[in-house]
Chains A and B, each alone.
Chain A
């Protein structure tokens, strides 16, 4: 669509919508489907060095206030994932972003190195997962740990990579800058925000893991602030994939005004039909009405 083209590092996107990680992206067929449905780029489900079964169900619920999930990063492991990414790169006709996750700094480097064999256009590093060496604290919970992950990935691959951050911190801008200083080429913000839901009859948390991550419309204001803070911190050059609560063209316009170059779309795949095409045509309509010709003209007035 005219005027919606954008660029992330060296990747040219026909439009700024990106299928978010963990959303209908477990195999090549699904990634190709999202591309056919209009996504400008697609991100695979995070893969780890060893296979993971994830948590028991319930792993996801759609509550009146928000969506909540604790899948537990289930994935067949990087060995099997290489084949899926290869097939997706061959078939998708849009850039493929391979998401990786690990539970030690060292393993981040190993997974990055292995997944590079599949030659994805970009790697996304899910740093919002627990570090087993630090009592389960998230890597992206502090600038030092996040930077150490970025450095390990930088040394392991020549493929551009984005660091995906958690909003559950008071200083996301500082953390993003530390990642960039350590070699990150882009930032994806945000992953889900910690949350919990209770069933009063069962007298338990609904998610089997008790805690999970909030996604969907409830996350939008949190994501807007995170992206705004990150843009202020990292300056104009570093691409940001703004993710969290995007389901309409106006959500996407607002996210880009707050500082994003592209928008990740996750939970909204079930909130409306044809979400990628819908978001794009609504963006175009707004831009036409207001006389914007290019995405970079969408800026906040301060």
Chain B
């Protein structure tokens, strides 16, 4: 089932995960939705923005506070209302027997949803969750989770790449799934390629329609809302990956 029109939902639980991310659990379910897909969340009279699903039954979203819209979402309390449509886009495809999940910031939320799905399919998952420091770390996934911080305030000191190198030195993974800052994902993908693993990543671009018509969310000739947001190695040769983002007017902005 895809909600083509926004449907009203009530916040059943609002949990602050760290100093910037709040996870909202809603009173509606999207049972067919898969990790990597997103919904358009609408606050009537204000704005509507894309958010990755952090869970589907019930719907969960993890919101990182960064501007006017995300601040309002993070301010919602139990009983608060928001409207959602979706799920949209292509989500992760679970493949292989042993998988590695590499996330940064709120990007770790869809990977936790993926870890839950992997568990159901008896696929062994290991996760790496990175942040600048302890106060920005996310809650662990339902699989073995390693934490890294740039300043060493929690987990392994260093970035997710070092932790990933460490894991690959000891074991083999069939597929690496990554979500987080674009340059981080680019580095993760290149490392995965070197290690001869498959790779899937989740891209973000400014979205307007969210359904593949307007063209605003383009990364090169790919539409993030329609062809993605899950992409693979083909992104490494996309002329705009890790380079160009388009703002609300469509101006090119360097990443």
Contact = CB atoms under 8 A, between A and B. Distances in A.
A204 B221 CA distance: 35
B122 interface: no
Contact of A24 (B214, B239, B246, B248): B214
A22 B208 CA distance: 12
Contacts of A71: 208-209, 214
A64 B251 contact: no
Contacts of A206: 5-6
Interface in A43-76: 45, 51-54, 56-64, 67, 69, 71, 74-76
Contacts of A64: 4
B208 A199 contact: no
A199 B47 contact: no
Given A33-B221, A57-B208, A63-B4, A26 B215 contact: yes
Interface string B103-138: 000000000000000000000000000000000000
**Interface range, B side:** 35 or more
B8 A57 contact: no
Contact of B213 (A58, A75, A269): A269
Interface residues of A, number: 43
B42 A67 contact: no
B100 to A, nearest CB: 31
A82 to B, nearest CB: 13
A204 B252 contact: no
A283 interface: no
Interface string A202-245: 10101010000000000000000000000000000000000000
B220 interface: yes
B218 A58 contact: no
Contacts of B246: 26-27, 76
A214 to B, nearest CB: 13
Given A74-B208, A199-B83, A204-B44, A30 B213 contact: no
A246 B208 CA distance: 23
B57 to A, nearest CB: 22
Interface string A137-157: 000000000000000000000
Contacts of B61: none
Interface string B197-232: 000000000011111111110101101001000000
Contacts of B221: 29-30, 32-33
Interface of B: 4-6, 8, 40, 42, 44-49, 83, 85, 207-216, 218, 220-221, 223, 226, 239-240, 246-252
27 contacts: A22-B215, A24-B212, A24-B215, A27-B215, A29-B221, A45-B215, A53-B248, A54-B208, A57-B42, A57-B208, A59-B209, A59-B214, A60-B208, A60-B210, A62-B4, A69-B214, A74-B249, A75-B250, A76-B246, A76-B249, A76-B252, A199-B5, A199-B83, A201-B83, A202-B8, A204-B45, A206-B6
